């Protein structure tokens, strides 16, 4: 379980870095032959991958620990990426990106933390 959450955290962080750096490096991307990284389609694929991975990890984690808080964090992240981020100005888009990515990272962290076996807590 922890491996899926670690991959989810990494993917969320990579997405946030991509969204923050791609506009700055857009002119350089074509020189390097990786201009596809700047297209909105690539961003949509990354967001879809993050959502699918988070859904898988969160449902699997819920079956293990029975807590729902990570669903709230993941749902907020998805709302930010699907509704807030596309509707804000270009100046605010990096902040929305960091907010969306951070909420996914928090959800994965909670899921990972709650899924760990413990001796002193009241886990299921």
Examine residue 122 and state whether it is found in any structural domain, yes or no. no
- Residue 25: domain span: 2-115
Highest mean pLDDT among 30-34, 88-92, 120-124: 88-92
Q: How many Å apart are CA 124 and CA 73, to the nearest integer?
A: 21
In a domain, residue 47? The reply is yes
Alpha-carbon distance 19 to 46, whole Å? 10
Q: What is the pTM of this model?
A: 0.69
What DSSP string runs through 10-31?
HHHHHHHHHHHHHHHHHHHHHH
121 inside domain: no
Structure confidence by residue, pLDDT tens digits, 65-102: 889 888 999 899 889 988 988 899 888 887 888 888 88
């Amino acid at each position: 379980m922890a491996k899926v959450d670690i991959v989810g955290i990494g993917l969320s962080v990579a997405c946030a870095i991509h969204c923050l750096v791609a506009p700055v490096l857009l002119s350089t991307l074509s020189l390097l032959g990786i201009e596809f990284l700047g297209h909105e389609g690539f961003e949509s694929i990354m967001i879809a991958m993050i959502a699918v991975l988070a859904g898988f990890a969160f449902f699997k984690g819920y079956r293990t620990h029975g807590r729902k808080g990570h669903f709230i964090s993941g749902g907020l992240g998805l709302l930010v990426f699907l509704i807030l981020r596309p509707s804000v100005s270009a100046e605010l888009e990096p902040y929305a990106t960091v907010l969306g990515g951070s909420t996914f990272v928090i959800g994965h962290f909670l899921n990972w933390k709650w899924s760990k076996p413990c001796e002193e807590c009241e886990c299921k």
